[in-house]
Amino acid sequence: MSQAKKYTGVMDWLTTVDHKKIGILYLVAGAFFFLLGGIEAMLIRFQLMFPMNDLIGGEAYNQILTMHGTTMIFLAAMPILFGFMNVIIPLQIGARDVAYPFVNALGFWLFLAGGIILNVSWFMGGAPDAGWTAYVPLSTDFSGSGVDFYVLGLQVSGIGTLIGGINFLVTIINMRAPGMTFMRMPLFTWSSFIASGLILFAFPALTVGLALLMFDRVFGTAFFDPGLGGNVILWQHIFWIFGHPEVYILILPAFGIISEVIATFSRKRLFGYTAMVFATLLIGFLGFMVWVHHMFTVGLGPVANAIFAVLTMAIAVPTGIKIFNWLFTMWGGQIRFNTASLFAIGFIPTFVMGGVTGVMLSVPPADYQYHDTYFVVAHFHYVIVGGLAFGLFAAAFYWWPKIFGRMLSERLGKWTFWTFFFGFHFTFFPQHFLGLLGMPRRYFTYMPGQGLELGNMISTIGAIGMAVGSFLFIWNIIVSHRKGAEQAPADPWDGRTLEWSISSPPPEYNFKQSPLVRGIDTLWLEKMAGNKNVTPAEPLSDIHMPSPTIVPLFMSIGLFIAGLSLALRNWLPDVFQNAGIEASATTVVYVGAGVGIGITLICMLIRSLYDDHGYHIHVDELEDDGDKGVKA
Amino acid sequence: MSANHDVQTLPPDPERATLEGKNKFIGFWLFLGGETVLFATLFGTYLGLNRSVADGPGPGDLFHLDLVAIMTFILLTSSLTSVFATMAMKSNEYVKMQLWFGITVLLGLAFLGFEIYEFVAYVDQGLGFTTSGFSSAFYALVGFHGAHVLFGILWITTLMLQATKKRINLTTAPKFYLAGLYWHFVDVVWVFIFTVVYLMGIVGGGGH
């Protein structure tokens, strides 16, 4: 039991249950999908650069538009957040690991499997083309086979997200170091905790929605078929009961990142910590109460619209509290303007602009005017790119040294910030006006002479700026990871929270001795007290670690096979026929689905029957800190 | 790690005695929270569509209180027997635990048998999965619950097989406890199905 199973090379990554390595896997896969979604965005912008442009045409445009939204939200933004959460949360709460290392690995592989299923569609008769919201009857009666991939890809990756969320919740509830009370937790951990709670209560609704849509498409059920008594509005309710909290699942962790970065680079404790925590809780709660504001023009009547309008406006209150607390944190602080800090500071006015247009949209009579125009597109990109993407860049520059043990170039980083920041505003600011002038969303072209040319041209040029910023970031990564580049110290920013008290990158067991937490910003308190490092809460002793395992990967492969078989229902039978194999369409699909689910169930059985007790790292194997410790 | 021979030394709450057990305990409660949303969405769908019978039969044409009463009785009894099993697990009485879990599984199988009989009867009366909004929502909700019962049966059976070798120790105790918790949850959902689908269906009539 004390002997560690060691794998090397690729096998090490395929079998890892180390939360830091899984975090890196999330970051790499998320970045890949971010590039994919970015290429799709560029194609959209090039198509709309000129009126009556025929660069890609309507059919391809629908697919690219749908995949851009779906990819960015499910396969880029959330996984990248999950990557940071995976690496950072256990470090911030002083834990050696997450609560379920196995489940954590499974969550990653399921997300990847779902992402691949979705993108396989490009080569199998076309990608989903009903928009990322997949409204019925567009997604049932008028779409190609692409929506099958949407339904099954999101179902598989959604399971991964759900178990990942539960893992974070239990980790934070149960794995905190001694003294780390809830009201001493860093804001990133807090906001991730609340976002994980939202995942727990929002994603099962999506699971049901996707299942019902799949039943309608594959088996011909009547959920969304008015001819048989079904109801198309039902889909919108189910989708937005998931979809609205999803917005907060994305933005709350970004709020947490901003809180950490602003406090660190203002060299001040976060202003109004308690108010920040409760504002975050309140936003999370209200996030579930406002889904109908996506449906004001559906015709639910003035009473429903009025109630949901007021609830939506109410969200501006806790959000305003957060904005002012960030400003008060900077007020009188010794602000350092490095890249992470610039992205965090740039976030504030940008996100406020997105919030203001959000309040505008929450007024039902006005919403009738804005609905389905580029004004909405501008609004949610200000929130999700100006909020979340800025937050993710801030997190990347802030935590990169901790995660990878290398410093990123500040010079390249500032170029990234300025090109991305200006590119962003040039892209999306004109879209407000395009929307007010009547340019509709989701349309692949527009007519000349309606005053839409200039705005679209500026918007496309801005998008090129964002692309340049993104490539500078990739270049920065390559440069910083070449031989001889600067190694990161344990605490490059003079940090305040526990992750900066251990070496960069952290050893596999994180903390040699569990830290004793004595207040908010523990490390800072210890530094102020003149201590070189955080006081340990326990004597040095053997450390228990979970064993690496390949089972999560195989469980995901099982669901991948099942999902792909169902998604390929229009395509697989032809392959068999061409190969001269006599098999009916349904047989092929059901055999594939059965085999896939069988593999997953057998893996579950194996996992259940063989208890793996992990291994111990003995005291004499624990590496000597040397000079890696924190210097106050 | 506690080996098989020191069965006398189990602590009072063996399912929560280790950090891993405690993690499982909290995580499973949270998971059930997610499952609640899942079933709530299916209930919402059913309530939205239960009057939409199109040209097919409606609740009033199909449901019979006697059949549903028997099914309810069986499932609620199985909840009781699973409590007995969990109590036996806590007091470290291996044989008793296996016996009560065994009875729970048998009751679950009986329930499932009735449900299959019920579905076959409805299909004979013209209520297919694709007949109407009502039929799709009905089979989705009740069938999804049935799938949960089936999963519970498989789960508890697997644990019983594992217990023949490993008995009750600090690793297996959380598993037994959680399987029992899951079983209660599935039963509670049935109480809501009994009320919302069957009682409201029979009392409210519906159909032709």
In a mutagenesis test of the B interface, which of A221, A236, A616 is the best target, namely the one with the most B β-carbons within 10 Å? A221
pLDDT at B6: 47
In chain A, which residues have their Cβ closer than 8 Å to the Cβ of B132? 222, 228-229
Query: What contacts A399, CB < 8 A, 6 or more positions away?
Result: A84, A87, A88, A499
pLDDT at B208: 47
Q: Can you tell me whether residue A615 is helix, strand or coil?
A: strand
CA dihedral sign, ordered B37, B39, B42, B43: negative
Q: How far is B67 from chain A (nearest CA, A)?
A: 26
Which among B181, B183, B194 is positioned nearest to B108, based on CA atoms?
A: B183
CA dihedral sign, ordered A248, A418, A345, A24: positive
A174, A231, A613 member nearest B49 (Cβ): A231
Predicted TM-score (pTM) of this structure: 0.94
In single-letter form, the type of residue at position A340 comes to A
Interface touch A613/B131, C-beta < 8 Å: no
In chain A, which residues have their Cβ closer than 8 Å to the Cβ of B38? 204-205, 207-208
Q: How far is B206 from chain A (nearest CA, A)?
A: 14
Interface touch B54/A221, C-beta < 8 Å: no
Q: How far is A108 from chain B (nearest CA, A)?
A: 18
Residue A43 at interface with chain B, using a CB cutoff of 8 Å? no
pLDDT at A628: 44
A200, A238, A613 member nearest B1 (Cβ): A613
pLDDT at B1: 42
pLDDT at B171: 84
pLDDT at A624: 62
Interface touch A200/B30, C-beta < 8 Å: yes
pLDDT at A4: 57
Which of A162-171, A205-214, B14-23, B72-81 shows the lowest per-residue confidence on average (mean pLDDT)? Answer: B14-23
Other Cβ atoms less than 10 A from the Cβ of A303: the count is 8
A99, A201, A225 member nearest B33 (Cβ): A201
DSSP state of A269: P
In a mutagenesis test of the B interface, which of A2, A223, A249, A544 is the best target, namely the one with the most B β-carbons within 10 Å? A223
Instruction: For residues A566 and B89, give the distance between their C-alpha atoms in angstroms, rounded to a whole number.
Output: 42
The helix (H) or strand (E) run that includes residue A270 is none
Within the 585-624 window of chain A, which residues sit less than 8 Å (CB to CB) from chain B?
A: 605, 608-609, 611, 613
Residue A132 at interface with chain B, using a CB cutoff of 8 Å? no
B27, B48, B136 member nearest A166 (Cβ): B27
Mean pLDDT of A587-604: 90
Interface of B with A (CB under 8 A): 1, 19, 22-23, 26-27, 30-31, 33-35, 37-38, 41-42, 44-45, 48-49, 52-54, 129-137, 140, 158-159, 162, 166, 171, 175
pLDDT at A580: 73
Which among A356, A357, A333, A363 is positioned nearest to A345, based on CA atoms?
A: A333
pLDDT at A579: 76
A134, A239 Cβ separation under 8 angstroms:
yes
DSSP state of A543: E
Which of A3-12, A443-452, B9-18, B79-88 shows the lowest per-residue confidence on average (mean pLDDT)? Answer: A3-12
Mean pLDDT of A504-523: 92
Instruction: Tally A–B CB contacts below 8 A.
Output: 118
What is the C-alpha end-to-end distance of chain A, expressed in Å? 39
Burial A403-434 (b: 16+ CB within 10 A, else e): bbbbbbbeebbbbbbbbbbebbbbbbbbbbbb
The length of chain B, given as a count of residues: 208
Backbone angles phi, psi at A525, to 5 degrees: -60, -45
Alpha helices for A175-287 (secondary structure H): 187-214, 232-266, 273-286
Give the DSSP letter string of A451-491: S-HHHHHHHHHHHHHHHHHHHHHHHHHHHHTSTTPPBPPS-
Interface touch B136/A205, C-beta < 8 Å: no
Mean pLDDT of A381-395: 96
DSSP state of A549: -
Mean pLDDT of A509-530: 92
In chain B, which residues have their Cβ closer than 8 Å to the Cβ of A227? 54
pLDDT at A619: 86
Mean pLDDT of all residues belonging to chain B: 90
Interface touch A223/B22, C-beta < 8 Å: no
Which single residue is written with the structure tokens 């004597």? A539
Which single residue is written with the structure tokens 């990942």? A164
A572 versus A204: the higher-pLDDT residue is A204
Alpha helices for A504-550 (secondary structure H): 522-528
pLDDT tens digits, one per residue of A240-295: 999 999 999 999 999 999 999 999 999 999 999 999 999 999 999 999 999 999 99
Is the pLDDT at A218 greater than 90? The verdict is no
A212, A229, A608 member nearest B132 (Cβ): A229
Instruction: For residues A244 and A311, give the distance between their C-alpha atoms in angstroms, rounded to a whole number.
Output: 13
pLDDT at B2: 43
pLDDT tens digits, one per residue of B137-165: 999 999 999 999 999 999 999 999 988 98
